[in-house]
A and B are shown apart, each in its own frame.
Chain A
Amino acid sequence: MAAGVSIRSSESVEALLDFDRALTGLGQRDARLVDVVECRVFGGLTVPETASALNLSSATVDRSWAKARAYLRVAMAEREAP
């Protein structure tokens, strides 16, 4: 029996699409924020690991991470709103 990989429901695909759109939108404004999100969320890297992967200081990653979270959250909330 092959891998027990989680199932992709249509709902979560929608959510991912939303998330991706928000991420793409953010990337057009500040690509570094998106790099940080990719490392943190998709890559599962810690702040110091992200810092070394992107050749940034930990403080910069911290700040970028906080900002990216806020922007994405607002962007996704706006999309959900009618």
Chain B
Amino acid sequence: MTRAKDWAAVDQLFDRALDLPVGQRAEFVREVAGQDSDLRERLERLLEATEEGFTEGAQAIVDPLLPERPSTVGPFRLCETLGHGGMGVVFRAERNREGSTQEVAVKMIRPDLFPLASADTLRRFAQERAVLSRLEHPHIARFIDGGETSEGTPFLVMEYVHGVPITAFCVEEALPLRERIQLIQVIAQAVAFAHRQLVVHRDLKPSNLLIARGKEGAATPKVIDFGIAKLLTPTVADVDTPLTATGIHLLTPEYAAPEQLGGGDVGIAADIYALGAILYEVLTGVRPFQAESREALERIVRHTPPTRPSLRLKESTKSQAGISQRHLRGDLDWICLRALRKDPEQRYRSASELADDLENYLQGRPVLARRPTLRYRASRFVRRNGVSLVVVVALLLTLLGGLGASLWQAHVATVERDRATAEARRAEEASAFLADLLALGDPFNAPTLTPPEALADTGLARLQRASTMDPMLKAAIACQLAEVFGGQGRFGLEEASARFAIEVLSGTNDPPPERLAEAYLAHSAPLRVLGRYEEAIVAARRAAHYDSASVQGTLFGDIAVELAIGLAESGQPDDAIEVAREALTTLESSVGADSLTLLYLLDTQAAALDAAGRIDEALVVGERAVAVSKAVRGTESAAAQIVPHNYALILISAKRYTEAYTVLSEVVRNEAIALGSNHPARAISQSNLADLELRTGRIRAAWERAAEAGEILVGVGGEGAAVSVRLVEAVALARLGRIVDADSLFRRVLAPGEQTLQPYDQADAEYLFGVFLYRTGQYRHGAVFRERAAQVLSPSDLDDLDGLFGGWRTAAGT
């Protein structure tokens, strides 16, 4: 085998030889190869191979394997070929039914791309087909049928769509800007609909978005091939199927999200990314990334941030129907960049959020893509910090204890002897499982000490392998493990454990609704934390559904909290307010309502009201939340600080800085006592307080606090996590007269080395640096930075940022 570097050298010489007329190639090879007979031989063989008719050779091998054009597939008569793609051949087909003709598109799949028909893949195929055939939406091409021909070639039958790919349509019709945006908006809503049915497209690209002119002349988009990519994607179980490796070539790297190129877990975020890439192309006429080779392109997609669309428009030569830089600058730039973030968690949380933001733009409202303020919002739930071995054991013992109790109850009831036996068996299995785990964690028994994290890891793997274990027990343990992982902040594993619990339960006949409610609730939280909001909301709604079907309905409050937070965090504050309001009404009328649940609901509702711009109501609810927090949690513990902290943020929204300062400094004092001075959890409240101190004229305090909080945040999340507080520090330095120090700190923030700044952090930093330069008399440079940033920031952003400087300027800057 030739080594890669070696190969590149040969490849280059081969290229040069091909540039020459046929008659001169032999001489060229002799010349460059010199004494290297191996090289000469290889080049000669390659050149020889070019001259001979490879086409016939390869085609002869491949031809019999290609789906040959049959005359009929099932009830459908095949007509002309519509196209070829990496996946196979697409035909238009017809069937006559009750006198009318139904027109469809039939996709014959390259047999080698289809995972070989193991029982497992066939079952998955059947499941997927069932899901897809339920996907009915006016802007999604309907999936009609699928199967295999008698010779085993897989085929898919879909609604036939008359239309032109969106990019071609925009160019051909010289479509105005607004209509382009409206098309993407409608498509994003259709994609959001599919996501709510838990179907991800995975291969959105212009050729899958067809636009047709309707009878009234309206442009109607349709998304085709929804969910098809998944049918063709091998699962882990198929990895030893040799030919699936080629599946990766099916992806279109121009529109594929970075996480797709790595072959990672693909969720709705990948579709949101692709929508962003298509929006970018529809606005500018060029794709966000271009490169010479596929490898180079993949590298760029993974590592290089896209250029703002407004700047790309300049170089685009295609007719863009009067779209100018001025149109794209600002909001549309932000919307594209937000959808195209490398990190899935930083993109829009749902396709409907993207659609809403496009609507915001069209209506002239501020877009969500902007981060609203400089401040950090405290997470509303304190998750447990790392779980110790003792806690893991305690959790499992609790589980055993719970089972013991239910075993006892089963005896007392003496009704169902069978059930009692089953419970007894569960208890036995649980203790065996526990003993197994403990042996692993026991330093005397195991060769090396197993840390608690590994103990929990082993738990999930073992649980998945435990084929004979009772499913109810398996699901219960999986839920417990999810909690352990959540406590450790390992949300991917938390999600996997909860998902496993759901799978296990769904595999049993007639699973108890309360168990399902529990498992779906356990699944919702990690999905939300991972930014998979649509799925989190669906899971919470399912939990609510099963909970209401169960006798106890004990999870009602917890589910409402989870659902409200999911809605609030995914930019649907109005729905969140409504869910919280209903739940609060129910809880307040019931005796012995859990006051902690009440507290979470109030806090979430207040934040949602704030986000919805209903500040006065937010203040009222926030005040109540603070009162309940005092009653439930007291005033001193770390947990007691969360609600007052969030209340202070609402006060800031109301521009009541002095009151906010009073509340927040109390929070910071209490946290110092409860957590110790260097605890990372303090950095958020410290940063926000430093910001307030600067605004209320406490400059030296602001500087010291910002510097301290900055160090902590850098330790936790790198320089990227500390940008806002570093900017507060820099402005404080300037206002203390330390111009040189302020200058170098600004420059350090703007040139962070390895990491790239978030777009809004970049804009904030550029703007503040610009103001700083301007007010120190460096007008020309100051104006450049300030104006560039001002293009992408809203007037209220600018107002907020100006507030940090107050009226400060140096003598030179007057």
Q: Which residues of A contact B (CB under 8 A)?
A: 1-9, 12-13, 15-20, 23-24, 27-32, 34-35, 38-39, 41-45, 55, 63, 66-67, 69-74, 77
Contact = CB atoms under 8 A, between A and B. Distances in A.
Contact of A44 (B89, B153, B245): B89
B50 A70 contact: yes
A3 B150 contact: yes
A67 B293 CA distance: 15
A6 B60 CA distance: 13
B65 A4 contact: no
Given A5-B70, A5-B150, A73-B57, 9 more contacts: A1-B72, A4-B71, A6-B151, A7-B151, A8-B151, A28-B4, A70-B47, A73-B49, A77-B45
Contacts of B112: 16, 20
Contacts of B294: 31-32, 35
A52 to B, nearest CB: 10
Contacts of A17: 242-243
A62 to B, nearest CB: 10
A15 B112 CA distance: 12
A43 B86 contact: yes
Nearest to B55: A69
Interface string B159-185: 000000000000000000000000000
B149 interface: yes
B246 A20 contact: yes
A42 B62 contact: yes
A16 B42 CA distance: 24
Contacts of B753: none
Contacts, number: 142
Contact of B65 (A12, A44, A67): A12
Given A24-B245, A42-B86, A5 B61 contact: no
Contact of B246 (A13, A24, A39): A24
Contact residues on B (Cβ < 8 Å of other chain), bracket: 35 or more
Nearest to B83: A43
B25 interface: no
Interface of B is mostly: helix
Interface in B653-711: none
B57 to A, nearest CB: 7
B85 interface: yes
A43 B84 contact: yes
Nearest to A7: B151
A1 B70 CA distance: 11
B73 interface: yes
Given A2-B74, A4-B71, A20-B246, A12 B86 contact: no
B59 interface: yes
Nearest to B53: A69
Contact of A69 (B50, B74, B111): B50
Nearest to B42: A74
Main secondary structure of the interface of A (DSSP, over half): helix
A2 B73 contact: yes
Contacts of A43: 84-86
Interface stretch (B11-19, B565-573, B759-767): B11-19
Interface string B765-776: 000000000000
Interface string B40-60: 001001110110101101110
Nearest to B89: A44
B242 A20 contact: yes
A4 B86 contact: no
Given A20-B112, A66-B18, A73-B54, A4 B70 contact: yes
A5 B58 contact: no
B65 A69 contact: no
A12 B70 contact: no
B325 to A, nearest CB: 24
14 contacts: A1-B72, A2-B74, A4-B151, A5-B150, A16-B62, A23-B246, A29-B11, A41-B62, A43-B85, A69-B55, A71-B46, A73-B52, A73-B57, A74-B49
B152 interface: yes
Given A23-B246, A27-B249, A5 B49 contact: no
Interface string B290-323: 1001110000000000000000000000000000
Given A16-B112, A73-B49, A3 B151 contact: yes
A34 B248 CA distance: 11
B315 to A, nearest CB: 16
A50 B66 CA distance: 18
B67 interface: yes
A19 B68 contact: no
A70 B65 contact: no
Given A19-B58, A70-B49, A72-B58, A12 B64 contact: yes
A7 B151 CA distance: 7
A44 B84 contact: yes
Contacts of A77: 45, 49
B94 to A, nearest CB: 15
A35 B15 CA distance: 18
B54 A35 contact: no
- The 4 A-B residue pairs with the shortest CB-CB distance, nearest first, are A3-B70, A43-B84, A69-B54, A31-B294
B28 interface: no
A30 B72 CA distance: 39
Given A2-B73, A3-B151, A34-B249, A67 B86 contact: no
B7 interface: yes
Nearest to A20: B243
Contacts of B356: none
Given A2-B149, A6-B151, A38 B65 contact: no
Contacts of B57: 73
